[in-house]
Amino acid sequence: PRARLTIDPDFTIAPVPRRLFGSFVEHMGRCVYTGIYEPGHPKADADGLRTDVLDLVRELGPTVVRYPGGNFVSGYYWEDGVGPKEQRPRRLDRAWRSIETNEFGLGEFARWAKAAGTEPMMAINLGTRGIQEACDILEYANHPGGTKYSDLRRAHGNADPFDIKLWCLGNEMDGPWQVGHKTAAEYGRLAAETARAMRLVDPTIELVACGSSNRHMPTFGEWERVVLEETYDQVDYISAHAYYQEHDHPGDFLACARDMDLFIESVVATADAVRARGKHRKHIDISFDEWNVWYQTRHRESAIAKGESEWEVAPRVIEDEYSITDAVVVGTLLNSLLRHGDRVTVACQAQLVNVIGLLRSEPGGPAWKQTIAHPFEQVRRRAAGEILDVRVRSDRYETPRFGDVDLVDASGTWDAENGVVALFLANRDQTEAATVEVGVRGFGELRVQHAAVLAAAEGQDRHTNNDEQHPDRVGLRPLDGVEVADGQATVTLPPLSWAVVQLA
């Protein structure tokens, strides 16, 4: 296939929102326990944080990390996870049919986030709890001192407030699977009143109302409308969540970023309609705070999902191993987020370790990067300055779900200060290389500064993954043959590949 991209330094969408490259740590399976935290592991520090995992997290560099759930948060008592560890109770986590030891809680997470160099983002429980508990945790986290909960934090060894800015008002409250699931009207009222009370405790916070758990929920659209009618003046963001997997048509799976595009554009349209009707001045942005590839059909067959497992501490749950195909899809999902960076200003890949993770770790053993970590890390590192309005004219292919879809998918940024164009490109064609021509005349003299690609190497196929024995089997390798001449860059993308090209 062939594709022609048109870019111009004057045609930009928005500054790259740094919080677009977030991730998520839920008390679920082995994300926390034996993921980021494992006292007794040879690489654990004095607080039990795994330094081998921390090193990999620092390389990935998620700019924000959401915590502690997810479905978990809708039954969570945050107070159980603070104070002397020997006094912390064990509880049943109904969301993931596990035993929560509470050895790790808010204080440990704040310490971990600092060590990882990331911004913490907290979710509160609006499933089984409400306004008062939301204000209590906020007082514990952000109030300097001299009150019950701020003094408790200080007594627990944290003199300085955690100063957490981003707060999610519950999780997936539209989902019948959620403990404390609500109708849009019930949730909208509770979220508005909780937000109002939380802002009285700390007016500097930013608040996320729950949007839909995916675009195919029966309440999609109407949920956003009703929730935003109730909460518009009290919140800053509406959330979106989306997970994709390959069913019986790889071409469909490779095109699933179209679903993300449509999801984002529909939520923006709904939010703007509420804005117009309510004569509001501000815009509501999207916090796409859960997104990834997730083989949900496999999970639905598991004993945990069927309620047939024993109650265990940190069982293995949804430890999907990601292939080259999954990495290409993740690259296209990042493209979709970046293309909409004027309105999607927070996003969290879900999740960071083990549970549908960018990273994997074994108890007492090693930690490594999954295939999907590579596009995430590269876009986080190299997207800088302004998002370019990349116009793509590509050969197309037919898909059952999305109709005709571009074989070449792209996004890009322009860092005017350093004179760098970064392009993120995917070739969805499974058998043919793609020739991509990019008109770069408007940027002055450019040369290739960096070009790397993720694709099947000799002896591999689209299903190849990384594992404990082969942690580096799939990664990036130099992309040869990129040329810039007469105001045009030419890139050849191998079949089924994701690439980054930097011109400076």
Catalytic residues: 172, 290
What's the min distance (Å) between Cβ of 134 and ligand AHR?
Answer: 18
User: In the range 196-255, which residues lie near ligand AHR by CB under 6 A?
Assistant: 213
Residue 350 lies near ligand AHR (rule: CB under 6 A): yes
What's the min distance (Å) between Cβ of 132 and ligand AHR?
Answer: 24
Residue nearest to ligand AHR (CB): 70
Residue 320 lies near ligand AHR (rule: CB under 6 A): no
Residue 94: strand, helix, or coil: coil
Nearer to ligand AHR, 179 or 452 (CB): 179
What's the min distance (Å) between Cβ of 71 and ligand AHR?
Answer: 4
Q: For ligand AHR, which residue of 22, 70, 81, 161 counts as binding (CB under 6 A)?
A: 70
Q: Which of 149, 247, 250, 235 lies closest to 188 in space, CA to CA?
A: 235
- Where does this chain touch ligand AHR (CB under 6 A) — which range of 69-77, 245-253, 260-268, 380-388? 69-77
Q: For ligand AHR, which residue of 119, 136, 236, 290 counts as binding (CB under 6 A)?
A: 290
Q: For ligand AHR, which residue of 17, 68, 69, 315 counts as binding (CB under 6 A)?
A: 69
From residue 418, how far is each of 5, 42, 76, 410, 504 by CA, in Å?
Answer: 22, 42, 46, 21, 8
Strands 23-24 and 166-169: unpaired
For residue 291, how far is the Cα from the chain centroid? 5
Q: How many CB atoms lie within 10 A of CB 310?
A: 9
What's the min distance (Å) between Cβ of 290 and ligand AHR?
Answer: 5
Residue 261: strand, helix, or coil: helix
Size of the site for ligand AHR (CB under 6 A): 11
Nearer to ligand AHR, 134 or 388 (CB): 134
Residue 287 lies near ligand AHR (rule: CB under 6 A): no
- Where does this chain touch ligand AHR (CB under 6 A) — which range of 64-72, 84-92, 274-282, 366-374? 64-72
Nearer to ligand AHR, 150 or 370 (CB): 370
Residue 501 lies near ligand AHR (rule: CB under 6 A): no
271 within 8 A of 229, measured Cβ to Cβ? no
Residue whose pair of structure tokens reads 């109708």 in the numeric block: 183
Residue 378 lies near ligand AHR (rule: CB under 6 A): no
Cα–Cα dist 346/20, whole Å: 5
- Where does this chain touch ligand AHR (CB under 6 A) — which range of 66-74, 301-309, 335-343, 374-382? 66-74
Cα–Cα dist 283/38, whole Å: 42
355 within 8 A of 30, measured Cβ to Cβ? yes
322 within 8 A of 243, measured Cβ to Cβ? no
Q: For ligand AHR, which residue of 172, 377, 386, 406 counts as binding (CB under 6 A)?
A: 172
Nearer to ligand AHR, 63 or 171 (CB): 171
Residue 71 lies near ligand AHR (rule: CB under 6 A): yes
Q: What is the dihedral of CA 214, 219, 221, 227, to 10 degrees?
A: -100
Residue 351 lies near ligand AHR (rule: CB under 6 A): yes
Nearer to ligand AHR, 93 or 139 (CB): 93
Query: What letters, b where the CB count within 10 A reaches 16 and e where it falls short, cover 103-140?
Result: bbbbbbbbbbbebbebbbbbbbbbbebbbebbbbbbbb
Nearer to ligand AHR, 212 or 411 (CB): 212
293 within 8 A of 326, measured Cβ to Cβ? yes
Which class for 81: exposed (0-12), middle (13-18), buried (19 or more C-beta within 10 A)?
buried
Residue 133 lies near ligand AHR (rule: CB under 6 A): no
Nearer to ligand AHR, 291 or 498 (CB): 291
Which spans of this chain sit near ligand AHR (rule: CB under 6 A)?
Answer: 26, 28, 69-71, 171-172, 213, 290, 350-351
